[in-house]
Amino acid sequence: MSTESKSSSSQPRSPGSDSNENETENTSGDENDTSASRTDTDRPPLPLADLLTRETDRKFVGLTENDSREYPDEVPPETRCSAANSRSFKEAIQALPKANSGELWATNDFVETSGRVDTAVIRRVHGLDVDALESYTGSSIEDLAAASEADAVVRVYDHQDIVDDRRKALNALGYDVKFRWQIASDSYSIINPQEAYLPIISALQQRGETNPFGWVSYRDWGGLFKMVVICPSLRHVVSGDQGDIEDDVEEDGITTAVSNDSDSDEDSNKDEEGSETIIYGGFQTGYDFRGTQTLWARPVLFFPDSGTVLPDMGERYTRRHYGKATNADHERSQGRVPISEWWRSIYDDIDTRMIEVDTAIRRTRAIAYDFEDLPFSVEDCYTYWGIAFKYAERAADRAISIAKPSSRPTVFNLQLSLLIAVLQEYEGSMASDTYQEYLEVAGELFRKPAMMIQLAMQEYDRRTDDDSQHVLPENQQTLSDSLEDIVDIPGISVDTEADLSDQQAHRVQDQLQRRLGDIS
C-alpha cells in the first residue's frame, strides 16, 4: 500500500476537505484499473473507488442527525460541510470499518496440497542439520514426514488478523482490495472503531456539547484513522491588550518582541501580536491497525480565523487493545475505566487546560526572531525544523508579510504561518505521517518555543563548516526550554518568563478552581 497519495485538485485544502464535495478522490491510480468482478459483462468495470474509498477526508457537524448542525459564525467556509453533503458525527463514524478479529494462516511450501512432504527439498535447505535431526530422533526424515500430519496451510496462533467484512466481500467478488490488517500479538483484542467512537456522543451530550464539528481522515481503507473534534463550548479569547506586558518590560529594561504600534495597519497585522485571538478547544484521536496496539486521543486548539489546528500541550491518552474495551462491566471488573467514561474525562481535561492557553500564547508572542541579526533566513529556519522547502517558502512569505517589522516575526507568527501554509498547500492525506509531523513542529513551537530556537541554531551550526560562524553558545549545546537560556542569544528578543506568568498566576488559579468546582 502506498503511504501517501496525492489529490488531483490543485486548490488549497481545508481541514477535512471532502473528496466528494471537491469532486476529487484521494485514491491511487491502480484502484481505477481494477476489474469489477469475475462475471463476464459488456458494461465497463465499476471503479473500486466508487464503492470503498482507500483514502479520504470528510467533515461533519452536529452529534447526530437530529441536531441542528450549525457552525459558529466564526468558522470559515473552507472548514464546513457543504450544504449538499452535510453529515453528523454519528454518520461519519458509522462509515468506518466494521473490523473484527480474524484467523491468520500461512503457507508451508514444503507440504504439497495432497499432504505429501517434499523431503528431498528439505535435505537441501541451507542451515538445517538433517543428520543431527535423524541421529537425535533415530528416524529418517522420510519416516518423520510419513508420520507427520502437516498441512500446506498452517494456522498462526501467535498473531491475530483484523478484517473488515465489507472489504472481504469485495475481495471475494474479484476486487483487488486489501481487507486484512495483521497485528503481531496473540494478546491483541480488537476495538471496533464504531464501538469505540460512538460513546463520544453520550460523553459530549452529558457535557452539553451537542453541536461539535470536525473531520475524519483515513488511509489504507480505514487501517489508519485520525479524527479531529472541535467543541464550540470550549471557546476562549486571548486579549490583544498589551498594557500589562509593556509595563513589566519597561521596569526590567528587557527588549520586548511586542510591537507598540499595532494599532496601525490593523488588517495586515490581524494574526500578529496586537489583535484579539479566538481559540476553540477540542481533541484529536486515532488508531492504526497496521501493527500498533493503542487507541489514542489528545487535546488540540482550533483557530477559526485561519481554520488551522494546533496540537496542544495536554496529555496524550492511550488505550491498549486488550480485554473488552467496549464492555463497561468487564472493564470495571479489571480496574479500568469504561470507554464512555474515558471520553468524558478527556473532555474535562481539555476544558480545564483551556485556561492555560492565554499564558502560552502570550509567551509565544513575547519571543521574536530577528533575521537581520541571525545568519540564516526565515525559509532556512523552517527547513532546519524538517519542513519541506515548498511549505517553508510559503510560511516564510506569510510570516514576513505580517510581522512588524518584517524582519522580526514572533514565535506565534511563525507557528501560525506554518499551519496555514501546510493547510493550503499540502495535497496528500491529512492522516499521512508527513502531514502530522508538520503539525507536530507547529505544536512544539507553541509548547517549547525556547527549545525550538536552540534546535534551529544547532542545525545551522551543524551545517556550517566555519566554527567562527556558529551562533549557539558553547554552554547551550544541550537543548532546554528555559527562556533564560535564550535571552542572551544574538538575534533573539525575549520577554522574561516571569513577567508573562507570575502576573497571571492568581487569575489562572482562580479560573482553575472554578472549573474544577463546575466539573465536580
**51 pLDDT above the threshold of 70:** yes
Instruction: Give the tens place of pLDDT for each residue, 188-229.
Output: 677 788 888 999 999 999 999 989 999 998 888 888 889 999
Residue with the bigger pLDDT between 340 and 291: it is 340
Please give the pLDDT value at position 36.
41
Mean pLDDT on 15-24: 39
**358 pLDDT above the threshold of 70:** yes
Please give the pLDDT value at position 476.
56
Dist. CA 463–CA 459, nearest whole Å? 6
| The most confident of 116-125, 240-249, 266-275, 501-510, by mean pLDDT | 116-125
CA distances from 101 to 98, 149, 289, 303, 420 (A): 10, 27, 11, 39, 40
Please give the pLDDT value at position 285.
94
**162 pLDDT above the threshold of 70:** yes
Dist. CA 367–CA 27, nearest whole Å? 42
**242 pLDDT above the threshold of 60:** no
Please give the pLDDT value at position 495.
52
Tell me the percentage of the chain whose pLDDT exceeds 90.
27
Dist. CA 327–CA 387, nearest whole Å? 43
Dist. CA 36–CA 44, nearest whole Å? 8
DSSP bridge pairs for 215: 59, 228
Nine-digit cell string for 4: 501517501
CA distances from 488 to 161, 376, 413, 416, 471 (A): 56, 18, 21, 25, 11
Nearest to 442 by CA among 486, 477, 391: 391
CA distances from 154 to 146, 214, 473, 483 (A): 18, 44, 61, 60
**323 pLDDT above the threshold of 80:** no
Taking only Cα atoms into account, the Rg of the chain, rounded to an integer number of angstroms, comes to 28
Please give the pLDDT value at position 99.
81
**4 pLDDT above the threshold of 80:** no
Please give the pLDDT value at position 3.
31
Please give the pLDDT value at position 49.
62
**260 pLDDT above the threshold of 60:** no
| pLDDT category of residue 362 using cuts at 50, 70 and 90 | confident
Nearest to 258 by CA among 243, 277, 273: 273
Instruction: Give the tens place of pLDDT for each residue, 105-116.
Output: 889 999 998 889
Nine-digit cell string for 355: 485556561
Dist. CA 294–CA 284, nearest whole Å? 14
Could you tell me if residue 322 is left (phi over 0), alpha (psi between -120 and 50 degrees) or otherwise beta?
beta
CA distances from 467 to 332, 344, 451, 475, 516 (A): 60, 54, 22, 15, 53
Mean pLDDT on 93-110: 86
Please give the pLDDT value at position 380.
94
Region of poorest pLDDT, from 97-106, 250-259, 333-342, 403-412: 250-259
**44 pLDDT above the threshold of 70:** no
Query: pTM of the predicted model, to two decimals?
Result: 0.69
Nearest to 360 by CA among 270, 264, 445, 417: 445
Residue with the bigger pLDDT between 244 and 468: it is 468
Mean pLDDT on 159-175: 83
**What sign does the CA torsion over 164, 170, 174, 176 have?**
negative
Instruction: Give the tens place of pLDDT for each residue, 274-291.
Output: 467 899 999 999 988 776
**132 pLDDT above the threshold of 80:** yes
Instruction: Give the tens place of pLDDT for each residue, 458-492.
Output: 888 888 877 777 766 665 555 555 555 554 555 56
Q: Where are the beta strands (DSSP E) in 48-174?
A: 56-61, 99-102, 105-107, 153-155, 160-164
Question: What DSSP string describes 379-399?
Answer: HHHHHHTT--HHHHHHHHHHH
Please give the pLDDT value at position 17.
44
Please give the pLDDT value at position 513.
43
